[in-house]
Each structure stands twice: as structure tokens, then as C-alpha cells.
Amino acid sequence: MSAFLVGPLVSAGLTALLALVIVVTDKIVNNYGDVSIDINSGKKKLPVKGGAPLLLTLAGQGIFVPSACGGRGSCGACKVKVLSDVGPHLPTELPYLSPEEIAANVRLSCQVKVKKNLEIELPESLFNVKKYKARVASIKKLTYDIKEVLFELPPDETIQFTAGQYVQLVVPPYDKIKDSVQRAYSMSSVPGDHRHIELLIRLVPGGIATTWVHTKLQVGNTVELIGPFGEFHVHETPKTMLCVAGGSGMAPFKSMLYDIAERNLYPEKEIWYFFGARSKKDMFYLDEMAELQKRLPRFHFIPALSEPQPDDEWQGETGIITDVLDRYIKTTISNAKGFEGYLCGSPGMINACIKVMTANGIPESEIYFDKFA
Amino acid sequence: MKNTQTELDAYNRMKPGIITAAGFLGDDLRTLRDIIEADEEAMAQYNITFEYAADFLEFLKASGQAGLGEPITVESRYIVTVGDARGKLPCPWQDGLYHKNSITVSDTKSRVILIYSDLSIHMLKAHHFCQGKGLAFRLDPQDLAKLIKNDRPQSTP
């Protein structure tokens, strides 16, 4: 053997040996063996392998805690109350937790490693959350940047949900995106259709999930959906509903409105729905909402454009949607039964609507919302 | 130019899948120091300070928030959409947490379209980091110059 090969071979051999030592050490040091997770004081007891984050360990057992970042610790959604001592809160958790949550040992489940037997508390609604492998049945372009995607569940699967809830769409790795990510989208389908899930997805420039939906997703593809999640729903009162949304914020309201129309729910409720867009090219479902008004005379749809273009020939309301809402509350809608607010959109939009509604006498406790953030 | 340990650590956190799925480097194969130095030179050539550019992007975001998530025209020239996502992102230099959002500015005059976030504004201002080439969120100095200059009224931001 040539002498000049000896050096590199010895070096390669030592590197391989070192790698082997690291792998063996890791197996020994990080082997937490079999442990158990007790949920809600014995309601469920899961025998699991220790060593992985709590979020992933629970998901492996079919219990899906909501997470918008896929376990990177950047969304703060996967909160779980841990009753066992798992050490102090990590610096990565603290920005997402209130002092009350810290005192109650609420943790980000993606940041807590399962190393020993654990006792935790979870909302029981999460026991109904399932992972579905659904087939894309249709994709419709609603505007230049919003798509309506209909998913069909496998023949032996059904989904039970309440209008207003959301699912998490699992986006597989693609192009330069090396890891799977999950994003939450409100369902726009009717709860009575247990075989389909419909989502309205707006393209966020540079967004990983929405870019995938808008450029890669095809009819016939199979995707994973996890759900249902969320507390946003219609409250059973006689009060008049004031709903406000823009863009893909239409989704939960479409689900609620069709559910109400199909089952004639809450017959005493008047429903006013304010939907804002910049110009006509951002507006959609005008025909569907007009048709719904015919089916449901107590439903009133008020679309408004903030910047109508000359060729839009827009005859409807104009202005920022909060101004339109304010105008209608003051001049048009009867407050005989009282009002309750329903909002879906960005934090800025929600806050602006809350300001208008509370200024018009609606208690903040009766304003319900599905905040995007 | 040699990278400092802080830059090496920040660079490692910028790789895809650490803070964001796409990371902050795009197709750029240069070191962090090289990316920053090249952009500092370019910004100097266009006679724009990082602070001024960051303040201008902040001004557009603040003005765009009036659209409540929908596009809105600012100064009769910029169409701004402020979108929000759940959660916060840490700066790769570990000097702060920033709300996850995505601001799209389409300049009807120069035809430049820029996408940025609160974290982008911070990295531009505090670290002179425009992000790597090939990334949707890159704030290229040439684009910033077109967006900011080009007869913009002197009164803003």
C-alpha cells in the first residue's frame, strides 16, 4: 500500500471509531426506556418509549395537541399542563407563557422531553382529534390568491366537527423545504357532510404551506389533515350575530351559515355578515351569499370594498369594513335582541372590530373570534 | 474576512429547519460576514442607511395595518398587505423575539415587490442582514433603493 494512503486511512478509521462511540453513548445515556403518560387522572394511560418530546410522543399515540410550527417552539400553541416535575421552564418556553401559566406548570409540549412517568392534563376534546389521509377532490380558484380545496376522506373514515373549528394541514417536504410543517385552516365545509373537509387557502407570499397549496397541490393527491380543533362556534342565544371577516376569514362563516340554513338552527337569530375586500378582484362568493340570503331571510350579507377600482362598477358599500360595521350598527340594525360579535381575521382586524363593537355597547365577553395569530 | 463566533452561531441558526423551515440564507453559499459586507457596500453605493430603510419598512407596515389584513394603498403608490401568523420567531443572533408576520409591499411605480416580517426589519436595522439570495424574504439593496427613492415624498417616514 502506498505510504501516502496511510494518513487518510488512519484518520478515516479514527473518525469512524469516534462516530461509533458517540452512537453507543447516545443509546446508553439517552435511553429512558419504557415510561407511561397519565392523562387527566387516569382517563387515559399511555405506555410509551421515553426520550422524545411530549408533543411527538403524544402524536405517536394518536393524541394530537395543536401545533402550528411542527415542534420548533416558535408558535406557542402546544401548551399542556404537566403535573409531574419535569424541571424548570426552558428559556424557549417562557416567551409564550403568562405568569399564571408558568405558576400552573403549563409547558410547551414540543420542548418537554419524556424521560420518566408523567401526569398531564389535556382538554378532553383533543381525544376526538384524528389524523386523516384525505384525497384532494377538487381545487377551485376563488380569487387570484385564494383557493377553495375540497378533501375527500377515505371510505371508512368520517369527521365530526362543529362549524367554526379548524384542522391542521400537514405539508410534506418539497423543493428546498426539508421538513414537514403544519398550518391551521378553518373548515368551510358543512358539519353535516362527514365525508369531506373544505378549506379556503390564501397565498401568503413566501409562505411555506400556502405556496405548496397554490403551486404543488393537485387533484388526486393524498394529504394528511389533523383535527378538529378550536372553540369558535355559534352561541345558542337569541342575540343578533354581527359577523366580520375578510379574505380566507370567510371559511368558518361559510360553514356556520350553511349549517344554520340546512338545519334551520337558532331560528330567533338575525345574522349580519360584513365581508371586506380591497377591490372586486379580492371579492368572492357573492352569488353563493346572495343565494343563501334567499334561503335564509334572516341572513344579511354586506360586502364592502375599501378601494373599488373604476372598472369594478361596484354598487355596494365602500370603506374599511370596521367603518361600514359601525355605520350599520348605528343606523340600520335593530338592537332589540342585543348583539354578539363573531370575527375571523388578523389580530389587527380583530382588535379594530372589538373597538367598534365595544364602543357600540357590545360587551367584550360576547365578542367571539378566531384569531389567525 | 473571518466570521466571529457569534456570526458562526447565528449562521448555523439560519439554516433551514432551525428557526423557520426555509431558513434565512436561500441559495447563498457565501459566509454570513461576506453577505453582510456585500450588502453594506451596496447600501452605501445607493446612499441609504440600514436604519432609514428599516424605519421606512416599519412605516409601510404601520400604514398597511389600516387594511385590516386586506391590501391597502399607501401614499397613492404602495399596495401593502399585512398578514399575521401564529407565534413568534427568535432572531438568529438571539437578541429578541419577533411576531410572526408577512408584509407584502408592491410598489406601483418601480414595480418592486418586497416581502418582509418584523424579524426582517430587526435584522436589517440591528445586524445589517438583508438575508440570502434566492430567498422570498430577501431585502435586496437594489430593490430597497428603488422602493425608497424614486421620488418618494420627503415627509415620510
Residues of B in contact with A373 (CB under 8 A): 84-87, 99-101
Question: Which residue numbers in chain A have pLDDT < 70?
Answer: 1-2, 26-30, 371-373
Residues of A in contact with B89 (CB under 8 A): 74
Locate the chain B residue with the closest alpha carbon to A370. B86
Torsion angle defined by CA atoms of residues A83, A87, A91 and A95, in that order, rounded to the nearest 10 degrees: 10
In-domain check, residue A23? no
Out of A76, A99, A126, a domain closes at A126
Q: For residues A150 and A255, state if they share a domain.
A: no
Pick the residue of A321, A346, A357 with the most B CBs within 10 A to test the interface with B by mutation. Answer: A346
Of A178, A204, A372, the CB nearest to B17: A178
Residues of A in contact with B19 (CB under 8 A): 72, 74
Residues of A in contact with B86 (CB under 8 A): 68-69, 75-77, 184, 372-373
Exposure of A2 in the CB half-sphere (CA atoms within 13 A): 3
Taking CB atoms and an 8 Å limit, are B17 and A207 in contact across chains?
no
Q: For residues A167 and A118, state if they share a domain.
A: no
Pick the residue of A278, A355, A371 with the most B CBs within 10 A to test the interface with B by mutation. Answer: A278
- DSSP state, residue A278: S
Q: For residues A90 and A147, state if they share a domain.
A: no
Q: How many residues does chain A have?
A: 373
The number of helices, as runs of H, and strands, as runs of E, in chain B is: 5, 4
In-domain check, residue A6? no
Structural domains of chain A, count: 3
What gap in Å lies between CA B33 and CA B38, rounded to an integer?
9
Locate the chain A residue with the closest alpha carbon to B137. A206
Taking CB atoms and an 8 Å limit, are B22 and A72 in contact across chains?
no
| Per-residue pLDDT, B1 | 64
In-domain check, residue A247? yes
Of A278, A352, A373, the CB nearest to B84: A373
Q: For residues A335 and A214, state if they share a domain.
A: no
Domain that holds residue A99: 34-126
Mean pLDDT, chain B, integer: 90
Q: For residues A287 and A325, state if they share a domain.
A: yes
Taking CB atoms and an 8 Å limit, are A74 and B87 in contact across chains?
yes
| Per-residue pLDDT, B154 | 47
Map residue B54 onto helix, strand or coil.
helix
Q: Is B82 on the interface with A (CB under 8 A)?
A: yes
Taking CB atoms and an 8 Å limit, are A76 and B137 in contact across chains?
no
Average pLDDT over residues B100-121: 95
Q: For residues A101 and A81, state if they share a domain.
A: yes
Of A178, A205, A306, the CB nearest to B102: A205
In-domain check, residue A299? yes
Q: Where are the beta strands (DSSP E) in B65-135?
A: 72-74, 78-90, 97-107, 113-116
Locate the chain A residue with the closest alpha carbon to B61. A348
Q: What are phi and psi of A279, to 5 degrees?
A: -140, 180
Map residue A288 onto helix, strand or coil.
helix
In-domain check, residue A68? yes
The number of helices, as runs of H, and strands, as runs of E, in chain A is: 8, 17
What residues have CB less than 8 Å from A89, skipping those under 6 apart? Answer: A97, A102, A107
Q: For residues A93 and A54, state if they share a domain.
A: yes
| Per-residue pLDDT, A290 | 97
What gap in Å lies between CA A233 and CA A186, rounded to an integer?
11
How close B115 gets to chain A, by Cα (Å)?
7
Q: For residues A102 and A63, state if they share a domain.
A: yes
What gap in Å lies between CA A367 and CA B132, rounded to an integer?
43
Q: What is the DSSP string of A180-228?
A: -EEEEEEB-S-TT-TTEEEEEEE--TT-HHHHHHHHT--TT-EEEEEEE
Taking CB atoms and an 8 Å limit, are A276 and B71 in contact across chains?
no
Q: Is B16 on the interface with A (CB under 8 A)?
A: yes
| Per-residue pLDDT, B155 | 47
What gap in Å lies between CA A317 and CA A303, rounded to an integer?
7
| Per-residue pLDDT, B27 | 92
In-domain check, residue A345? yes
In-domain check, residue A138? yes
Of B17, B21, B68, the CB nearest to A346: B68
In-domain check, residue A22? no
Q: For residues A117 and A144, state if they share a domain.
A: no
Average pLDDT over residues B45-65: 96
Q: For residues A261 and A326, state if they share a domain.
A: yes
CATH number of the domain that A269 lies in?
A: 3.40.50.80
**Angle, CA of A336, A338 and A340, to the nearest 5°:** 150
Count the neighbouring beta carbons within 10 Å of the beta carbon of residue A240.
21
Q: For residues A172 and A142, state if they share a domain.
A: yes
Out of A96, A126, A156, a domain closes at A126
CATH number of the domain that A153 lies in?
A: 2.40.30.10
ipTM for the predicted complex comes to 0.81
Q: Is B90 on the interface with A (CB under 8 A)?
A: yes
CATH number of the domain that A96 lies in?
A: 3.10.20.30
| Per-residue pLDDT, A29 | 65
Q: For residues A145 and A179, state if they share a domain.
A: yes
What gap in Å lies between CA A100 and CA A95, rounded to an integer?
13
| Per-residue pLDDT, A372 | 56
What residues have CB less than 8 Å from A346, skipping those under 6 apart? Answer: A371, A372, A373, B68, B69, B82, B83, B84
Locate the chain A residue with the closest alpha carbon to B96. A95
Out of A203, A229, A255, a domain closes at A229
Residue linked to cell 375578510: A246
| Per-residue pLDDT, A220 | 98
Of B69, B97, B99, the CB nearest to A349: B69
